[in-house]
């Protein structure tokens, strides 16, 4: 199967899983699903945009296949999507802040950022900002788990 069809199938799977998780996030207590819903809707819209561009460009131009350009980073978007899925499942188990912190660290390392001091400083700024935005401004109760 050509790489272009593999990408399209994976994007369809991402859309279906995003719809499933968006439906699941609607049931989070006290508007705790606002951020996951926003993220999943953005993911769906970007996936649809990718599919449209993919179908339009494949008719106009000869697309380069994965075999033509070998790249060891080609699996990173799929691993990142799996990290998002793991984060969604961990939110109810260990809590929003712990799962988001773990997701942030793993995604930074996956994308090639190796300066752990910078990752920790970013997390120290990001997590309180999320708390202020969701809890104080939006008055949304974030999923609480065993830890936070």
> Quick one: which of 38, 45, 53 has its CA closest to 7?
53
The pLDDT, as a whole number, for residue 70 is 46
Q: What is the pLDDT of residue 56?
A: 77
Q: Please check the confidence at residue 140 and state whether its pLDDT lies above 80.
A: no
Average pLDDT, the chain: 78
Mean pLDDT of 52-61: 68
- Contact between 48 and 67 under an 8 Å Cβ cutoff? The reply is no
Nearest Cα neighbor of 76 from 42, 108, 37, 122 is 108
* Predicted TM-score (pTM) of this structure: 0.54
Whole-angstrom distance, CA of residue 115 vs CA of residue 109: 9
């Amino acid at each position: 199967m050509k790489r272009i069809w593999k990408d399209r199938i994976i994007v369809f799977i991402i859309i279906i899983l995003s719809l499933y998780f968006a439906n699941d996030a609607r049931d989070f207590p006290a508007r705790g699903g606002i951020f996951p819903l926003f993220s999943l809707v953005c993911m769906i819209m970007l996936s649809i945009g990718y599919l449209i561009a993919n179908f339009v460009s494949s008719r106009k131009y000869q697309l380069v296949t994965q075999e033509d350009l070998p790249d060891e980073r080609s699996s990173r978007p799929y691993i990142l999507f799996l990290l998002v899925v793991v984060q969604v499942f961990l939110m109810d188990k260990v809590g929003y802040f712990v799962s988001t912190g773990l997701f942030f660290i793993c995604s930074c390392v996956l994308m090639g950022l190796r300066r752990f001091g910078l990752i920790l400083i970013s997390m120290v700024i990001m997590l309180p900002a999320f708390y202020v935005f969701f809890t104080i401004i939006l008055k949304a109760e974030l999923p609480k788990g065993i830890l936070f």
